[in-house]
Amino acid sequence: MPDVQHQPVHHRFVIELDGETSSLTYHHPQGSSQVDFDHTFVPPALRQHGLARQLVDVGLAWARNQGYEIHASCSYVDAVIKRGG
């Protein structure tokens, strides 16, 4: 599996693969105890390889390690959380 890189300055997690970028973006106001995962994107050529789930798993683990209250305005992230992810 490719590595997930956290880019906190850009509020996102990314996977760079085959010249394409998959990403999970989030909104986290400075000083807030909340984080909202708002968008997951995987380019069409890279779909069906588990990249979105990999991004979300890493993002959720990061948020939990930080002790943040997690919100998911992204439907994919919401579905992962509801399935126990």
User: 3-state SS string over 45-62?
Assistant: HHCCCCHHHHHHHHHHHH
**Average pLDDT of 36-51?**
96
Q: What is the pTM of this model?
A: 0.93
**Average pLDDT of 4-19?**
96
Q: What is the pLDDT of residue 15?
A: 98
Q: Which candidate, 50, 58, 53, 48, places its Cα nearest to that of 12?
A: 58
The CATH number given to whatever domain includes residue 76 is 3.40.630.30
Domain count, the chain: 1
* Single-letter code of the amino acid located at 57: D
How do 12-17 and 5-7 pair as beta strands? antiparallel
Q: Which domain holds residue 10?
A: 5-82
CA 61 to chain centre: 10
